[in-house]
Chains A and B, each alone.
Chain A
Amino acid sequence: MGFLGIILALTGAALSVTLTCIGSAKGVGMTAEASAPVMIDDPSKFSKLLILQLMPGTQGLYGLVVTVMVMLNIGLLGGSPDLSLTEGLLYFFACMPIAIGGLISALMQARVTVTGVNIVAQKPSESGKAIVSATLVEFYALLCFIASMLMVLNISRLGL
Chain B
Amino acid sequence: MSLVPMKRIEIIAMQRDAKKIVETLQRQGVVDISDLTPCAPDETDVAPTSPSIAQLDRHIATTTVAISAIEDRAQVKKSLLSGFAGRSEMPFDVFSREVKRADDYLRIALSIETQRRLIDSERLSISHTYNRLQQILPWQSLDIPMQYKGTDKTAVFIGTLQGLWTDLSFDDAFRESYSNLFGADSSDPSHAGDSDSTSTKSATVSTVLADPSASIHFPPYVIEWIHTTNMISCLCLMTHKSDANAVEATLRQIGFIVPTDPTTHPPKHRIDRLRARIKASEALIAEADAKLTSYVEDLPSLYFLLDYLNMRMEKYRILDHLLFTQKAFVLSGYVPSHRAEDFRAKLESKFDIVVEIDEPSDDEVVPAQFSNNILVSPVEDIVMTYSPPTRKDIDPNPVMSFFYYLFFGVMLSDAGYGLLLTLGTFFVLRVKKPEGAKRKSMLMFMYCGMSSVLWGLLFGSFFGNAVYAIGHNFFNSDIALSAFWFNPVEDPMKLLIVSMILGFIHILAGLALKFVNMFRQGHRLGAFFDVGLWWVVFAGFILIILNMVMTTSAPLGTIGKWLAIGGAIGLVLTQGRRNPSIPGKLMGGIASLYGISGYFSDILSYSRLMALGLVTGIVGEVFNTIGTSLGSGIVRVFIFIPVFLFGHAINLGISALGAYVHTNRLQYVEFFSKFYEGGGKAYQPFASATKHFKIKEEI
Contact = CB atoms under 8 A, between A and B. Distances in A.
Interface in B606-650: 607-608, 610-612, 614-615, 618-619, 621-622, 625
Interface stretch (B212-220, B270-278, B592-600, B656-664): B656-664
B416 to A, nearest CB: 18
Given A51-B657, A54-B657, A61-B619, A131 B611 contact: no
A153 interface: yes
Interface of A: 44, 51, 54-55, 57-58, 61-62, 64-65, 68-69, 77, 125, 128-129, 131-132, 134-136, 138-139, 142-143, 145-146, 149-150, 153
Nearest to A128: B385
Contacts, number: 71
Interface in B663-678: 664-665, 668-669
B198 to A, nearest CB: 64
B46 interface: no
A52 to B, nearest CB: 10
A17 B615 CA distance: 14
Contact of A153 (B492, B607, B625, B669): B492
B467 interface: no
A62 B615 contact: yes
28 contacts: A54-B654, A54-B657, A55-B657, A55-B661, A57-B654, A58-B615, A62-B615, A64-B619, A65-B619, A69-B618, A77-B625, A128-B382, A128-B386, A131-B664, A132-B664, A132-B668, A134-B661, A135-B661, A135-B665, A136-B669, A138-B662, A139-B605, A142-B612, A143-B604, A145-B611, A149-B492, A149-B611, A150-B492
A96 B664 CA distance: 29
A66 to B, nearest CB: 9
B493 interface: yes
Interface in B184-212: none
Interface residues of B, number: 30
A150 B492 CA distance: 8
A107 B103 CA distance: 57
Contact of A146 (B610, B621, B622): B610
Closest 10 CB pairs of A and B: A128-B385, A135-B665, A142-B611, A65-B618, A142-B608, A132-B665, A132-B668, A145-B611, A65-B615, A131-B661
A158 B604 CA distance: 26
A57 B669 CA distance: 22
A38 B607 CA distance: 35
A156 to B, nearest CB: 13
Given A142-B608, A150-B492, A61 B615 contact: yes
B496 interface: yes
Nearest to B653: A54
Given A51-B657, A131-B661, A142 B622 contact: no
A7 to B, nearest CB: 23
Contacts of B662: 135, 138
A65 to B, nearest CB: 5
A75 B262 CA distance: 86
B67 to A, nearest CB: 16
Contacts of A57: 654
A64 B83 CA distance: 35
Interface of B: 83, 382, 385-386, 492-493, 496, 604-605, 607-608, 610-612, 614-615, 618-619, 621-622, 625, 654, 657-658, 661-662, 664-665, 668-669
A146 B611 contact: yes
Nearest to B612: A142
A135 B619 CA distance: 21
Contacts of A138: 661-662
Give the secondary structure class of A's interface. Answer: helix
Given A69-B618, A149-B614, 14 more contacts: A58-B658, A65-B614, A65-B615, A77-B625, A131-B664, A132-B661, A135-B662, A136-B669, A139-B608, A142-B607, A142-B608, A145-B611, A146-B610, A149-B492
A129 B625 CA distance: 38
Give the secondary structure class of B's interface. Answer: helix
Nearest to B493: A150
A154 to B, nearest CB: 9
Contacts of A132: 661, 664-665, 668-669
A51 B654 CA distance: 9
Nearest to B651: A61
Nearest to A135: B665
Contacts of B665: 132, 135-136, 139
B492 A61 contact: no
Given A128-B664, A139-B608, A142-B607, A58 B492 contact: no
A68 B618 contact: yes
B664 A64 contact: no
Contacts of A131: 661, 664
Contact of A68 (B385, B622, B668): B622
A44 B625 CA distance: 38
A148 B618 CA distance: 15
Contacts of A125: 385
A146 B618 contact: no
Contacts of B493: 150
A132 B605 CA distance: 14
B328 to A, nearest CB: 36
Contacts of B621: 68
B175 to A, nearest CB: 60
Contacts of A44: 83
B362 to A, nearest CB: 28
Nearest to B667: A132
B496 A146 contact: yes
Contacts of A134: 661
Contacts of A64: 619, 622
Nearest to B668: A132
A123 B668 CA distance: 19
Nearest to A127: B385
B654 A61 contact: yes
Given A64-B619, A68-B618, A58 B607 contact: no
Contact of A143 (B385, B607, B618): B607
Contacts of A62: 611, 615
A138 B658 CA distance: 10
A136 B657 CA distance: 15
Nearest to A126: B385
Contacts of B496: 146, 150
Contacts of A149: 492, 611, 614
A80 B328 CA distance: 92
A149 B488 CA distance: 12
B635 to A, nearest CB: 21
B609 to A, nearest CB: 10
A150 B604 CA distance: 15
Contacts of B607: 142-143, 146
